[in-house]
């Protein structure tokens, strides 16, 4: 059985989820995703039949409302998508722009689902005022309603009744974490253009993020961070400092789609940082896994 995923989202961890989950200890109370995006890690965790709860947070409110709709009201969400999808038939491009204008006025998450499925490269973009400004895909009309429905119902079957949703800054969410939880963080790549990255609704400040991680360390919280990446010889974003005492593993994320477009066969490597408390928890519960953890010097600033 395949893990269901209704939409593509830039930076989604759906392809790396199985590897990342290898570092999840047993007996987690709540899986907390402060930068949930499309919550690929929560979906994959539930797919493994783990008995835990989920806290799904993202600063992008329409995105969180969309996830809530997919998980808690799947039929209604799938029906709304089907209706919008059929409405595009006579003038697909004009229809897309009308839906986009309406979404930028109303922030309606059902419209957002259609835009995510229908926009160019499956990648949302935002202008400086926070409006969604990505163009439509001129060649494709978006996921077929029957496929979308199947994926929505699949995600709902995995997560319904197990989640708390919120749309706050990640720092607010980190305050809720306890030692029994596991926090998985996948912040937007920094280094692209300071705090603001047009690929996401918001960005984060590197130094503040490091301060937050140091606070989590002081409280003994178990966390994982997917942070920087490199494709070929090019590094994206700043690395995390050694003083955080994180263990780091490098994950082969496969062919970079950007490099493939440019005719290069480059592999993307992503770093996964493991908190001291989690490393300790793993050594108690999965000693074999913990022994495999080697510190890769190239992960640190």
Per-residue binding letters, 195-234, with ligand SAM (x by CB under 6 A): -----xxxxx------------------------------
Per-residue binding letters, 64-93, with ligand SAM (x by CB under 6 A): ------------------------------
Per rule CB under 6 A, count of chain residues that contact ligand SAM = 22
* The binder of ligand SAM chosen from 186, 216, 227, 275 (CB under 6 A): 186
Distance CA 53, CA 294 (A): 30
**Residue with Cβ nearer ligand SAM (136 or 229):** 229
Question: Least distance in Å: CB of 301 to ligand SAM?
Answer: 20
Q: Is 169 in the site for ligand SAM (CB under 6 A)?
A: yes
Nearest one of 179, 171, 173 to 277, comparing CA atoms? 179
* The binder of ligand SAM chosen from 6, 136, 188, 229 (CB under 6 A): 188
Tokens of residue 66, six digits: 């969309």
Local structure of 194: helix, strand or coil: coil
Distance CA 265, CA 294 (A): 27
Contact window for ligand SAM (CB under 6 A) among 20-28, 145-153, 180-188, 233-241: 180-188
Nearest one of 285, 298, 290 to 240, comparing CA atoms? 298
- List the helix and strand counts (H, then E) for the chain: 12, 8
Reported in sequence order, the residue ranges of 167-261 that DSSP labels E, i.e. its strands, are: 182-185, 223-231, 234-236, 247-255
Question: Least distance in Å: CB of 93 to ligand SAM?
Answer: 26
DSSP 229-247: EEETTEEESPPBPGGG--E
The residues that touch ligand SAM, with contacts defined as CB under 6 A, are 9, 11-13, 34-35, 37-38, 40, 58-60, 169-170, 186-188, 200-204
């Amino acid at each position: 059985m395949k893990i269901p995923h209704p939409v593509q989202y830039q930076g989604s961890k759906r392809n790396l989820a199985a590897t990342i989950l290898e570092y999840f200890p047993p007996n987690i109370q709540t899986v907390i995703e402060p930068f949930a995006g499309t919550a690929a890690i929560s979906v994959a965790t539930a797919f493994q039949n783990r008995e835990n709860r989920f806290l799904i947070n993202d600063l992008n409110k329409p995105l969180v409302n969309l996830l809530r709709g997919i998980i808690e009201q799947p039929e209604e969400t799938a029906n709304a998508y089907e209706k919008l999808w059929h409405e595009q038939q006579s003038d697909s491009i004009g229809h897309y722009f009308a839906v986009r204008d309406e979404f930028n006025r109303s922030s309606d998450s059902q419209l957002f689902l259609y835009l995510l499925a229908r926009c160019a490269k499956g990648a949302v973009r935002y202008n400086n005022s926070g409006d969604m400004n990505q163009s439509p895909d001129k060649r494709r009309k978006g996921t077929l309603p029957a496929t979308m429905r199947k994926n929505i119902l699949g995600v709902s079957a995995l997560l319904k009744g197990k989640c708390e949703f919120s749309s706050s800054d990640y720092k607010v969410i980190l305050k809720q974490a306890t030692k029994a939880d596991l926090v998985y963080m996948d912040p937007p790549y920094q280094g692209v253009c300071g705090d603001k990255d047009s690929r996401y609704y918001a960005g984060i400040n590197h130094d503040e993020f490091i301060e937050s991680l140091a606070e989590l360390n002081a409280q003994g919280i178990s966390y994982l961070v997917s942070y920087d990446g490199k494709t070929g010889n090019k590094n994206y974003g700043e690395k995390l400092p050694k003083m955080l005492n994180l263990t780091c593993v490098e994950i082969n994320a496969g062919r970079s789609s950007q490099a493939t477009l440019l005719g290069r066969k480059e592999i993307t490597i992503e770093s996964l940082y493991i908190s001291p408390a989690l490393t300790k928890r793993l050594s108690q519960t999965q000693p074999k896994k913990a022994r495999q953890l080697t510190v890769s010097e190239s992960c640190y600033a």
